[in-house]
Amino acid sequence: MTLVNRINNSLFLRLFLIFSATVIVFFIIITFSIRQIDRNWRSERLSPLPDFYLDNITLIVDNIGVPPDLERASQLSQELSLTIIIRSPHINWQSDDQNDLDISDAEFVRRLSDEAQMMEVGAEDVIRVSRGGYEYYLNRRVPTLSEYDYVVVYLGLAMAALVLLLNFWLVRRLLAPVQQLREGAERICDGDLSYRVKSTRTDELGELTDSVNHMADSLQSMLEAKRQLLLAISHELRTPITRAKLQLEFLDDGMVKEALGDDINEIDLLITDLIEAERLSNQHQALLAEHVDFADYISLVLQAYHDYKGGVIFEPPEQDASVSIDKLRTRLLLTNIVNNAIRHGRDKPITVRVSFSNTHVLLEVEDQGEGISAEHMQHLSEPFYRADSARQRNTGGFGLGLYLCQLIAQAHGGRLEISSELGVGTHVKVYLPYEQEQQEQRDDE
């Protein structure tokens, strides 16, 4: 494999090259900027005094005059970039207040002329001229950053910022598939096993994308195999159950016959729930939807509970509305919720409400029963989950009821919400859209 192919197929190698190139470019920029500034600084600060100053010391002092013309001295200081200090018993003047030279510590270096001497104050070279009772000290002004230096600094910073932005763009482009992988993993986790992450990369992220897609394929295959097996077993069990019911009719009436009948009916109900749950868990399962007057239909279903001791109270809306629903599955949804309310309602009244909004219909079932503890709330709609595992079958069921209710609500494009408080009761809300077909189209989009 060539080096180019290795780079194209390795995310880590490309990131290493990007960061290495960034470090090198930064080093070059900073080094160049520092050298340019340092070169300019040294050329002004560390170069020896030019011959102009040494040869024209007398001329400079003559221009200042004796006694000194301080205004002229200040002008020469600006023009020649000098710090000029004048001392006498009557004058203590300095052209540059920012220069903190202490000429009292000046040390003799060499004589330049009868009037001029080279002195040293710290690391600074100072020329002293004595004339007419006055002492004139001349010193090169400490150089500051010039406009050129500022240009170099700003240009270096701009180039560094540009390199950072380019580096950010390259890294973001390299890691773009990470966002796609996250979205794909969330969709697969939500149950959309048909979703696949698209990628044309051949590096580590491309291999990871292929692994995620392969995992989704495997999960989809296993779940489909489980579904088909469960449906096949459920259908096969129907035949012996039917024969058992037929044989049961030939037994004499009594407690044994009644108990066997209850057990067989319970198994038959479990198989029915299993088949219905597997059918609804298929996202492509179409509902047999038709328009019905929703409140009237709910009222009709609730007539089956007129013998309930606590009473089922129906609160209809002021005006009914037509809703597209699968009538049989909506009946199953409502009866499962009401049966749960009766089973744990402690013979207290159960209230069923129907209301309409601009986008959906709301079906509510509220009881005043024993309630459910908070630790069980998030698991209520899971298959075969029972809040109290010690319950008997006639009081606890198989744990498929609310799971079926959630599947039915989702199949209609709606949702199921449950709230409960121990000792107070449970409140179940079902939101269903008016038009199930329109909801399916929005999901497809």
Per-residue pLDDT tens over the stretch 207-257: 888 888 888 888 777 776 666 666 666 666 666 777 777 777 777 766 767
Q: Does domain 177-285 have CATH number 1.10.287.130?
A: yes
Structure tokens at 323: 């809703």
Q: Give me the DSSP letters along 359-384.
A: SEEEEEEE--SS---HHHHTTTTSTT
pTM recorded for the entire structure: 0.44
Please, which pLDDT band fits residue 352 given cuts at 50, 70 and 90? very high
State CA 150 to chain mean position distance.
41
Q: pLDDT: is 350 or 167 the higher one?
A: 350
Report domain extents, the chain. 3-45+147-174, 51-140, 177-285, 287-444
Identify whether the C-beta of residue 106 lies closer than 8 Å to the C-beta of residue 120.
yes
Q: Which amino acid is at 406?
A: Q
CB atoms within 10 A of CB 344: 20
Per-residue pLDDT tens over the stretch 15-40: 777 777 777 777 777 777 766 666 65
Give me the helix-helix angle, 204-248 and 255-281, nearest 10°: 150
Please, which pLDDT band fits residue 364 given cuts at 50, 70 and 90? very high
- Nearest-5° Cα angle at 75, 70 to 77: 90
Q: Does domain 287-444 have CATH number 3.30.565.10?
A: yes
Please, which pLDDT band fits residue 389 given cuts at 50, 70 and 90? very low
Task: Tell me whether domains 177-285 and 287-444 share a fold.
Answer: no
Pick the most confident of 143-152, 186-195, 353-362.
Answer: 353-362
Looking at the predicted structure, is the pLDDT value of residue 61 above 60?
yes
H helix intervals, 46-100? 51-55, 57-64, 70-80
Q: How far apart are CA 26 and CA 22, in angstroms?
A: 6
Q: How far apart are CA 196 and CA 216, in angstroms?
A: 8
Identify whether the C-beta of residue 404 lies closer than 8 Å to the C-beta of residue 273.
yes
Q: How far apart are CA 375 and CA 371, in angstroms?
A: 12
pLDDT at 440: 42
Looking at the predicted structure, is the pLDDT value of residue 64 above 50?
yes
